[in-house]
Amino acid sequence: MDKDYDLIVIGAGPAGYVAALRGAQLGFKVGCIDNWLDPDGKPSLGGTCLNAGCIPSKALLDTSHHFSALRTEYADQGILVDGLRIDVDTMLARKRSVVTALTQGIATLFKAQDIDWLKGHGQLLGTGRVGFTAHDRKTPKELTADNVILAPGSTPIALDSAPLDGEYVVDSTGALEFTDVPKRLAVIGAGVIGLELGSVWNRLGSEVTLLEAQPDFLPIADQALARTALKTYTNQGLQIKLGTRIKSAKLSGKSVRTVFEDASGEQQERYDRVIVAVGRRPNTTGLFTNESDLLLDERGCIHVDDFCRTNLPGVWAIGDAVRGPMLAHKGEEEGVMVVERIAGQNSATEPDLIPSVIYTTPEFAWVGPTEQKLKQAGIPYRSGRFPFAANGRARAQGDVEGEVKLLAHAETDRLLAAHVFGPSASELVQQAVIAMSMEATSEDLARTIFAHPTLSESVHEAALAVDGRALHMAGKPKRG
C-alpha cells in the first residue's frame, strides 16, 4: 500500500523545517506538521527560535544596544544626543516585523519546494504512523510515511516557587513582550537566556538583578574569561547574585514579592517584574502514544544514537529533544544529517565542533573544551591569549574589553578550542570552528594572512601566542 509521504517531520523549528527543506531537495515527498500559533492565533513556521526565542531576542538586543550606546558611549566620539528616549511600542513593532519576514520566508520556501505544511498537532503512533489533528478539527487523521523525524523543540522550565502569571512573573517568551521598561526587574537564572534578557532591559533603563543558584558564574564557559565577563556585566549595571535559592516570587499588590536565600541568609525584595529563565526541557508531552514504545533517556530526552536514530525503525529525533546542547544550529545540522542518511548518504555531525554564543555586549563565544576540562581529561595543551585592547580595529571602534584564547594540543599542535569574550565574538569563533573542522594547527592559523585592521587579527595573534611569539603584545619574546 502506498504511503502518504516519504517523510513526515513533526515540528517546524530550525531543526524540523531545515530537515523538511533538505528532504524536498533530495526528492522526497515531505509533510511537515507544526502547531505553533502566533499572537493573533495564526499558524506560523519557525518554532520557538524564530517566533519567541533567538530572532526576537536578538532584535531587542540590537535596539537596546543602539539606545545604550547613544546614552553612555558616544559622547567621547563627539556624538551628543539630547532628549533621548525609548519608544517601546515601536521597538516591539520592529521586532514583530523581523519575525514576520522570516517566518513568512520559510512558508515561501515550503511552497517553492512543494512541502505540505500541516497546521496542527502531530503525534507518533508507531513506526511509519503519525496522527495529525488540524487546528480546526478535533478528530485526528492517521498519516503514513516511510520515515518520521521528531523535532518538537523545547519549552521553558517552570518553577513551583515562582508560578507564572503572564504579566508580572513571566518566562522568556513573556520577557519579550513588556510594554514598558520595568523600574526594578529580577531575572531568575544567570545563564545564556537570563543574561541576554537582563541585558536588554538593563540597557533600556531597568535596575536588573540576576538570581543564580549556581555558586560559580557560567560554569560551562572558560572560567578566566567568565570572571572577566562577570566584572564587565557588573560594571554595566547588572547585579548578579550567585548561590541564590528562590523560595517564592508572587504578586503582592502591583509588585512581585521575592524571597530568596544566599550566603547572607534569607532576604526579601520587591520587583516590578520577574523573569524565570532557568533553562528549557524537551517538548515531548503528547508527542507520542504509550503504544508507540518510543524510548526516552534518564533526562527525559528522546533516546537516539550518534546518527539520531531512535529505538524504532524509520523514526528519528533531532534538535532540543535529544542529547546535546539546545542550540538551533545544532538541530539544523542534525536535520540535514538525518535526511541525507535516509537518502543513503554517509553524513554525520561533529558534536565537538558546535559553537556556543551569548549575545551580550561584548559577546561571549566558544567552541571545544575549556582548560578545566582538558586538565580533567589529562590532555596536554598550550594556550595562546590576545587582548582586544591591543587590537587596532577594536581600539578605533572603542571595543577593547575581553580577549581571544586558543587552546592547542601540546604534542600535535592541533587546535582544540577557542574562547572569545569581546566584540563580534560570535563571528570570530567561527574562524576557529572552520580551522578545527579541517584539523588545522595553531601554526596553520599563525601562518595565515589576516587583513589589517580587523578584529580577526586577534585570532591571528592568539595563534602566534600559542608558540610565544605574539607580535603586538608585551612580553618576553621567543627566540627563533
pLDDT tens digits, 370-424:
999 999 999 999 999 999 999 999 999 999 999 999 999 999 999 999 999 999 9
Residue holding cell 547572607?
264
The answer to whether the CB of 425 falls within 8 A of the CB of 366 is: no
Q: Phi/psi class of residue 309: alpha, beta or left (left: φ > 0; alpha: ψ in -120 to 50)?
A: beta
| pLDDT level of residue 474 (50, 70, 90 thresholds) | confident
| pLDDT level of residue 1 (50, 70, 90 thresholds) | low
Q: How far apart are CA 303 and CA 324, in angstroms?
A: 11
pLDDT of 158 higher than 80: yes
pLDDT of 27 higher than 70: yes
pLDDT of 110 higher than 80: yes
| pLDDT level of residue 2 (50, 70, 90 thresholds) | confident
Architecture of domain 362-466: 2-Layer Sandwich (3.30)
Q: Which CATH class is domain 169-278?
A: alpha beta
Mean pLDDT on 349-378 = 97
pLDDT tens digits, 83-105:
999 999 999 999 999 999 999 99
The answer to whether the CB of 429 falls within 8 A of the CB of 366 is: yes
Residue 437 is predicted with a pLDDT of 97
Per-residue buried b or exposed e for 83-114, using 16+ beta carbons within 10 Å of the residue's own CB: eeebeeeebbeebbebbeebbeebbeebeeee
The answer to whether the CB of 153 falls within 8 A of the CB of 11 is: yes
Active site residues: 452
Among 389, 316, 387, residue whose Cα is nearest residue 124: 316
Question: Could you tell me how far CA 175 lies from the centroid of its own chain?
Answer: 16
Residue holding cell 519608544?
87
Mean pLDDT on 246-272 = 96
> Which fold would CATH assign to domain 5-156+281-352?
FAD/NAD(P)-binding domain (3.50.50)
Beta pairing, strands 154-156 & 280-282: antiparallel
How many Cβ atoms are within 10 Å of 67's Cβ, its own excluded?
18
Return the percentage of the chain with pLDDT > 90, whole number: 96
* Mean pLDDT across the chain: 96
Residue 438 in grid coordinates: 579541517
Residue holding cell 532540543?
320
pLDDT of 480 higher than 70: no
Mean pLDDT on 274-293 = 97
Mean pLDDT on 41-67 = 97
pLDDT tens digits, 438-447:
999 999 999 9
Spatial neighbors of 120 by CB under 8 A, at least 6 apart, are 33, 35, 132, 133, 134, 135, 137
Residue 478 is predicted with a pLDDT of 58
Mean pLDDT on 304-313 = 98
Spatial neighbors of 341 by CB under 8 A, at least 6 apart, are 307, 347
Residue 337 is predicted with a pLDDT of 98
What end-to-end distance do the CA atoms of the chain give, in Å?
A: 73
Q: Do domains 5-156+281-352 and 169-278 have the same CATH topology?
A: yes
Q: Phi/psi class of residue 254: alpha, beta or left (left: φ > 0; alpha: ψ in -120 to 50)?
A: alpha
Residue 477 is predicted with a pLDDT of 57
Every domain of the chain and the residues it spans = 5-156+281-352, 169-278, 362-466
pLDDT tens digits, 136-156:
998 999 999 999 999 999 999
